[in-house]
C-alpha cells in the first residue's frame, strides 16, 4: 500500500512537472519576438493565443487545488481530531522531523584528524550531544505515540 501511494505521488509529480514545462514553453513562445513580430498573425492566431492563455490559467488554477494523496489523508485525519489531538499529532511529527534531521546531520559530520586532540575532543562532545538529543527525541516520540 505504501509503495502504491509512493508510486501515485511520483506520477502526480511527473504530471505536475510536465504541466509546468508545457506552461512555461507556451508562455515563452507567446512572449518571443518571433511570435509577436509575425506579419501573418491573423484573427485565427489571436484566437488560438487567447485560448491557450485561458487553458494555461485553468491549468494553474487546478495546480493550486490538486493535493497529493499523503497530504489529503493527513488533512482528512486532522479534520476529525480534537484540537488537543491535532496539537499532539503535529508535535509528534515535528519531533520525528527533528530526530531525522539530527541523524542526517550526524551522518554528514566529518571527524577531524586524530592528531588534533582539541578538535577531536570537540567533535566527540558534539557527537555525544547530538546522540543524546536524538535519544531524547526518540523517547518523546514514543511517549506521544502511546
Is residue 4 scored above 70 in pLDDT? no
pTM of the model: 0.49
CA-nearest of 21, 53, 17 to 35 is 53
- The rounded mean pLDDT for the chain is 82
Instruction: Look at the block and give the residue holding cell 586532540.
Output: 117
Per-residue pLDDT reduced to its tens digit, 40-60: 566 667 778 888 888 888 888
Show me where the domains of the chain are located: 2-69, 82-145
Per-residue pLDDT reduced to its tens digit, 84-123: 888 888 899 899 999 999 999 999 988 888 888 888 899 9
Written as one string, the DSSP assignment of 10-31 is HHHHHHHHHHHHHHHHHHHHHH
Task: Using CA atoms of 120, 125, 130, 131 in order, give the dihedral in degrees to the nearest 10.
Answer: 90
Q: What is the pLDDT of residue 130?
A: 92
Q: What is the pLDDT of residue 73?
A: 83
Amino acid at each position: 500500500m505504501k509503495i502504491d501511494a509512493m508510486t501515485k505521488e511520483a506520477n502526480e509529480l511527473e504530471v505536475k512537472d510536465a504541466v509546468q514545462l508545457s506552461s512555461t514553453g507556451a508562455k515563452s513562445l507567446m512572449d518571443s519576438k518571433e511570435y509577436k513580430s509575425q506579419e501573418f498573425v491573423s484573427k485565427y492566431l489571436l484566437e488560438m493565443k487567447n485560448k491557450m492563455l485561458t487553458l494555461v490559467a485553468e491549468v494553474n488554477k487546478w495546480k493550486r487545488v490538486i493535493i497529493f494523496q499523503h497530504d489529503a489523508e493527513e488533512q482528512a485525519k486532522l479534520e476529525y481530531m480534537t484540537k488537543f489531538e491535532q496539537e499532539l499529532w503535529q508535535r509528534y511529527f515535528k519531533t520525528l522531523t527533528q530526530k531525522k534531521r539530527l541523524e542526517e546531520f550526524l551522518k554528514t559530520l566529518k571527524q577531524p584528524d586524530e592528531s588534533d586532540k582539541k578538535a577531536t575532543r570537540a567533535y566527540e562532545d558534539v557527537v555525544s550531544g547530538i546522540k543524546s538529543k536524538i535519544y531524547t527525541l526518540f523517547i518523546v516520540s514514543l511517549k506521544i505515540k502511546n
